[in-house]
A and B are shown apart, each in its own frame.
Chain A
Amino acid sequence: MKPRRLGSWLLIVFGVLYFFVPLLGTFEFSLRLLRGVYSVAAYRIVLADPRFAATVTYSTVLALATIAVGVLLVLPTAYWIQLRLPRLRPVVEFITLLPLVIPAIVLVFGYLRIYNSSSALPLTGSARTTDLLLMFSYVTLALPYMYRAVDNGLRAIDVRTLTEAAQSLGAGWSTILLRVILPNVRVAVLSGAFLTFAIVIGEFTMASLLDRPAFGPYLQLIGANRAYEPAALSIISFSITWACMGFIQVFGRGASGQVAGAH
């Protein structure tokens, strides 16, 4: 018993060191812009850079759009497969896994071939339509996570009986999805949304190759040209991610009470 427990503690200590030492190192380094003293000068410079605010905003908006489109696509699909086409489940699972197997760079070259400005559907022709293309490619990138999260949520409830109960009470499909299914898989949808957000906020390849002003390419640009600011940026983006996590936890719990009390 005792040596075993010691072993687990050693593992935990090792894990903590593995994750936090680099982070602490980065943090410490980010404070050393001014020679000889610790200061937040690097942070000031980063935050004062208008490109920082612009790229973070751009990526956040894109992430939110990606989440909205992703949920709209995945929830009804996973629901219908669970309800009516359970035999298709392995096929769909395989398809949703493809973005993990196909490198982003391959995907984006494919997009560029199909949607270039001289193609039938010239999405890369203007900035707005390129944003659209980028958003759709993010939906694809996040698909494995979003689908798995939502599907797990749906498996945890009795989709068929709840659907039939709602139907017998006069509810049509949209009512069932919005008022019965969605509220009961809300936590799963939120965790899918969080993963999507984390992917989109730091994504580099697609944004860079489609030449959009996202946070990922900005991070790369600063990293290539400066010494202390990239460390500060890393810490900032970590904080954003963690804040997100905390926010979703709180929101997830608060919303459960709210949804329940609202109708």
Chain B
Amino acid sequence: MSFLEIDHLQKRFARTTAVEQVHLEVTRGEFVSFLGPSGCGKTTTLRIIAGFESPSSGAIRLDGVDITQRPPHQRNVGMVFQSYALFPNMTVAQNVGFGLKVAKKPAAEITQRVEEMLHLIKLPALGNRFPYQLSGGQQQRVALARALAIRPQVLLLDEPLSALDAKIRVSLRLEIRSIQRELGITTIYVTHDQEEALSLSDRIVVMSEGRVEQIGTPFEIYNFPRTSFVASFVGTLNILRGQVADPAHGKILVDGQEVFASRGLERARTGDAVTVALRPEIVSLGEVAGNGNRMRGTVEDVNFLGSIVRIRVRFTDNAISLDTFNNPSLSLPQRGQALTVSFPREAVLALEAPPST
């Protein structure tokens, strides 16, 4: 049964439609990410759930209760902002206790709950500091504790990590996830960072231009993107353009070379233009047993990225990138070298529509 229901939300501003028929049912304790490029309506959707915006149409139901018209301060929804938004005039402990104080809880209970929360975020000694005396990562943890202190029914986070540097981002996101699991709190997490969404979420909602493109587990989103938008937004992706040669067997011609696709050609006819997608990590150098596809090309570029090496191979009009793990004993191919690449049939995804780029 769904705990939080986002029922066909729509939000129009004067000139733009920010959110278009967004529908989503979240179960209790689930961690859902909204993923999409800038301006796709993630924040607007989140703000509607929090009550800061009211939808043009549609409804929000929480635990079976319609809260669409309820003002934000009566929703019991916790919110964490990108800019931390700690109250500068209050200490860490006062910030965390603010919601409880507003709810007129007894002082002893507040003190105890604040202590509990500071332990949860692993900053038990910093209760008397002011926000300006904390690092960005610490401030955001305090903001998380503040949002959780009131025991909200839903926790909303709007790009909580994007103001932090890369190392802290990774460690803090793991911490957020473990706290979320520990408390079993239903969470919606907005991000434009696909790695964050893939590593954290139970489910991901990929959005584009106000619409939901696909909802699924990280595994589904990454491996079986339904639209070319999802395919190109999530992960690095090779796009190959060709013509259908034999729809029944999924045979395609890419720059004159035969490629077999896994699915999606049933409705196509011979000679139709077709676009397929291919993940870089699934392509191997040379022929590998079990790979049903092989193509010949020349090395255009070799990029050393640390643990992996990304090699770009050009056919004629099309080119693909492939990733191999770095290995000191490996000799890397040279630019201009001719070679064979191979990949399994299942890895070749025919897309619904050609990507706009």
Chain B CB within 8 A of A225 CB: no
Q: Which residues of B contact A263 (CB under 8 A)?
A: 90, 94, 101
Q: Which of B72-109 contact A (CB under 8 A)?
A: 72-79, 81, 83, 85-91, 94, 98-99, 101-103
Residues of B within 8 A of A179 (CB): 98
Within the complex, the shortest CB–CB distance from B198 to chain A, in Å, comes to: 27
Q: Mark A129-159, 1 if CB is under 8 A from B, else 0.
A: 0000000000000000000000000000110
What sequence of 0s and 1s flags, for each residue 185-202 of chain A, a beta carbon within 8 Å of any chain B beta carbon? Answer: 010000000000000000
Distance between Cα atoms of A166 and B146 in the complex (Å):
10
Interface bracket on B: 20 to 34
| B130 contacts across to A, CB distance below 8 A | 260
Q: Judge whether B91 and A165 touch: CB under 8 Å.
A: no
**CB within 8 A of B103: which of A161, A167, A170?**
A170
Q: Answer whether residue B147 sits at the interface, using C-beta atoms and an 8 A cutoff.
A: yes
Which of B78, B81, B88, B143 has a CB less than 8 Å from the CB of A157? B88
Most chain B CB within 10 A, of A157, A165, A168, is at: A168
Q: Is chain A's binding surface mostly helix, strand, loop or mixed?
A: helix
What residues of chain B lie closer than 8 Å to A171, measured between beta carbons?
73, 98-99, 102
Residues in A whose Cβ lies below 8 Å from that of B98: 166, 169, 171, 179
Cα–Cα, bound, A157→B84 (Å): 13
Contact B90 A168 (CB under 8 A): no
Q: Is the CB of B88 within 8 A of A169?
A: no
Chain A nearest CB from B88 CB (Å) reads 6
Task: Assess whether A172 is interfacial by the CB under 8 Å rule.
Answer: yes
Does the CB pair A165–B85 fall under 8 Å? yes
Contacts of B79 in A (CB 8 A): 164-165, 168
Interface residues in chain B, defined as those with a beta carbon under 8 Å from any beta carbon in chain A: 50-52, 71-79, 81, 83, 85-91, 94, 98-99, 101-103, 130, 143, 146-147, 150
Q: A157-B88, A168-B72, A184-B87 are in contact. List 17 more A-B contacts (CB 8 A).
A: A164-B52, A164-B79, A165-B85, A165-B146, A167-B51, A167-B73, A168-B73, A168-B147, A169-B78, A169-B146, A169-B147, A170-B76, A170-B102, A171-B99, A175-B102, A263-B90, A263-B101
